Structure 1
Amino acid sequence: MTEPADLVVVGAGPAGMAAAATALAGGLRVALLDSGTALGGQYWRHPPEHARAAVPTDDLHHGLDR
């Protein structure tokens, strides 16, 4: 990101992605930071055994790109 962000969201788990998506929809420039290399946070790093996603996994990223 070369321009300053209006908002920095720490954590790219489901809540962080939802916060970033809401801020983007409101016209803010957002920096989304996470210690991992992929969106989804602990949900994707350590998914519960035998868990099924309630929605298609593509929808969980809220349309966010790196």
Structure 2
Amino acid sequence: MRKLRLGDDVDDHCVKCKRITNHVIVSLVDERPAKVRCRSCYHEHDYLQGVAPPPRRRMQSPKDA
């Protein structure tokens, strides 16, 4: 596998689109992607390595007694 560079395309989970989309690498740390920009919505976020974050748990409202 070749080394990744700034501007290269990678697949990642977009937190705004909520799906796997093409992303452009905008930041590298130790030759690994740190930040990416979604090519669909242009949202910039940390590189998630294609793994979706766990779903948020909703707080239940207190029930009236």
TM-score scaled to structure 2, two decimals? Answer: 0.21
Which has a greater percent of helix?
A: 1
Which has a greater percent of strand?
A: 2
TM-score scaled to structure 1, two decimals? Answer: 0.21
